[in-house]
A and B are shown apart, each in its own frame.
Chain A
Amino acid sequence: MTRAYAQDFTTKELIAAFIAHQVRDGERVAVGAGLHVPRAGILLAHLLYCPNVRLYIVMTFTNLLKEPRMEPFYTVTDFRPAKWAEAYVLHDDFQENPRLVSNMFVVGALQIDPYGNSNLIGVGRDYHRLSFRGPGAVGTTSMAHYVDRYYLYVQSHDRRIFVEKCDFISTIGWGEGGPDGRRRLGLPDNGPIYCITPLCIMDFEPRTKRMRLKSVHPGVTVDDVVRNTGFELIIPDVVPETEPPTVEELRVLRERIDVEGMLRT
């Protein structure tokens, strides 16, 4: 069966559809408030493909399959969407209750190195003399450790973000690389799967665990990606275009999830 692909969509909508394809039915998935694109992608997966996903949304657990459309909300503490709640998340239960851990998770970053190690602490060689103090790790260190799969996601793609070496590491990726980079650190093998940017999708080459270009978004060239990445990327012989959203995905995104059009700007 050929899929009916949409013709006219934004990069944010493209990325939301890509993220939607990473969710599996029956999983627990945290829906952040601040990252609109991953949030839209997870909700898209839920409404179209994963009716049994248990959403962790504004400190509640719920299922939104029968909601005609999502009310807009901007903060993780906005209690208005909590009208959907089936259960409250007691945030301090994290250590005690594995049901608070998502199966898949999206991690943002100020810096990312070739092995997918990432930094939300700050920028600067000396921790006591930071040139830019970041927001902090939030829950990314622990969540990325316990989830089955995690994805790196950044809202711009440039040489300040993609660096040879992070000034600090707040979430470990594939460590120093190699097939057993994480096992050498005593960690399970659940490093980042993909790194998702406004230019492209990257994965990690299995032997070296170095970042490798997987696909470029429509209108982006391989050279655009290389020029904006501060380390040597593995470039396969053939780099396809990122799969576009389907007509149906775009319709559900626009009519039920992103009613305000934040992904269209």
Chain B
Amino acid sequence: MVVERRSLIIDEREAASWIRDGMTIAIGGFINSSHPMAIVRQIIRRGVRDLTVIGPASGGLDLDLLIGAGCVRKLVTAYMGGEHYCPVAPMFRAAVERGELQVWECDEGMYYCALRAAAQRLPFTPWKAGIGTSFPDVNPEIKVFTDPIKGEPLLAVPAIRPDIALIYAAHADPYGNVQHIGTGFGDRALWRAADRTIVQVERIIPNEEVRKNPLATSLYGVDAIVRAPYGSHPFAAPGYYIEDAAHLREYVAAATAYAKHGDRGPFEAYLRKYVLEPETHADYLEVIGIKRLISLHEY
């Protein structure tokens, strides 16, 4: 009998079918870079609801789109904005101010505490920063307790365990060996904490390529690989393309019409044009257009 190693490659439609209503999912990257957008847009197309979404330590407009599309019940992140594109993410701001979105309020340190506890299978991580602040008041899951060693007050930041982590990286082989270009931000923390991990990549590389430099393997043993060229668009992909500034401005203008003036029309039009009407990631890339995509080179 010939035994073959199993390929873990699936497409974005199958990946999104793993996500069900009410799950806790994590989405990697950092603000304007490295989000698994082919999967994110497919989650919206499927109309998944009531998700608890763990963003990166600092979240960006990928999460804002999910919130605007009505997929998110609760959000875990320490920042929601687009840096110079917008100081506060518009649909996030609108949903919170209207009481439609719960926020698990934390700073980046507390955020990593929650993931670390999950990875260590511990109920909480102790943390000192945040004593004297409002965090234990506005996030009652974070408790103040007395350190049994020194007798000083500490925060207990409870574990948050993602059912599935969705991560964007540059490369993977078919067997779940993943190589980021650049730092990988906090993606490793999501991978360590999650029950299962799906990684969307720019390119599939041969296993031999991975074996040339195993030190570059940032994640391994992941559960599925999705190949999606330009798959972080409109956000940046280190080593491949910078963020699509014009597209992000278009999104911000559409979302701001709702956040500031209560006009949902432009956001709905954005959603239809870029998410609901294209049936697949390839269809999305056709909507964006090849000229725009290849203009997003590094320099």
Specify which chain A residues have a CB less than 8 angstroms from the CB of B152 in the assembled complex: 186
Q: Is A185 interfacial (CB 8 A cutoff)?
A: yes
8 Å CB interface, B173-194 against A: 181-189
Q: Is B115 interfacial (CB 8 A cutoff)?
A: yes
Specify which chain B residues have a CB less than 8 angstroms from the CB of A142 in the assembled complex: 107-110, 127, 129-130
Q: Are A74 and B183 in contact (CB under 8 A)?
A: no
**A119–B92 alpha-carbon span in the complex (Å):** 18
Q: Are A78 and B242 in contact (CB under 8 A)?
A: yes
Specify which chain A residues have a CB less than 8 angstroms from the CB of B87 in the assembled complex: 135
Pick the contact of A129: B99, B108, B127, B186 (CB < 8 A): B99
Specify which chain A residues have a CB less than 8 angstroms from the CB of B239 in the assembled complex: 79
Number of interface residues of A (CB under 8 A): 53
Given contacts A59-B183, A82-B238, A169-B134, contact A136 B83 (CB under 8 A): no
Given contacts A139-B78, A172-B131, A187-B132, contact A94 B298 (CB under 8 A): no
**A75–B79 alpha-carbon span in the complex (Å):** 14
Specify which chain B residues have a CB less than 8 angstroms from the CB of A144 in the assembled complex: 129
Pick the contact of B109: A74, A76, A95, A130 (CB < 8 A): A95
**A100–B193 alpha-carbon span in the complex (Å):** 21
CB distance from B202 to the nearest CB of A (A): 13
Number of interface residues of B (CB under 8 A): 63
Specify which chain B residues have a CB less than 8 angstroms from the CB of A129 in the assembled complex: 99
For A60, the closest partner residue in chain B by CB is B183
CB distance from B98 to the nearest CB of A (A): 10
**A168–B135 alpha-carbon span in the complex (Å):** 9
For A83, the closest partner residue in chain B by CB is B298
Q: Is A215 interfacial (CB 8 A cutoff)?
A: no
Mark contacts of A162-176 with chain B using CB atoms, 8 A cut-off: 1 yes-contact digit, 0 otherwise: 000000111110010
Mark contacts of A104-144 with chain B using CB atoms, 8 A cut-off: 1 yes-contact digit, 0 otherwise: 00000000000001010110000111111111111111111
Q: Are A121 and B109 in contact (CB under 8 A)?
A: no
Specify which chain A residues have a CB less than 8 angstroms from the CB of B109 in the assembled complex: 94-95, 139, 141-143, 145
CB distance from A188 to the nearest CB of B (A): 9
Q: Are B135 and A141 in contact (CB under 8 A)?
A: yes
Specify which chain A residues have a CB less than 8 angstroms from the CB of B110 in the assembled complex: 141-142
CB distance from B230 to the nearest CB of A (A): 16
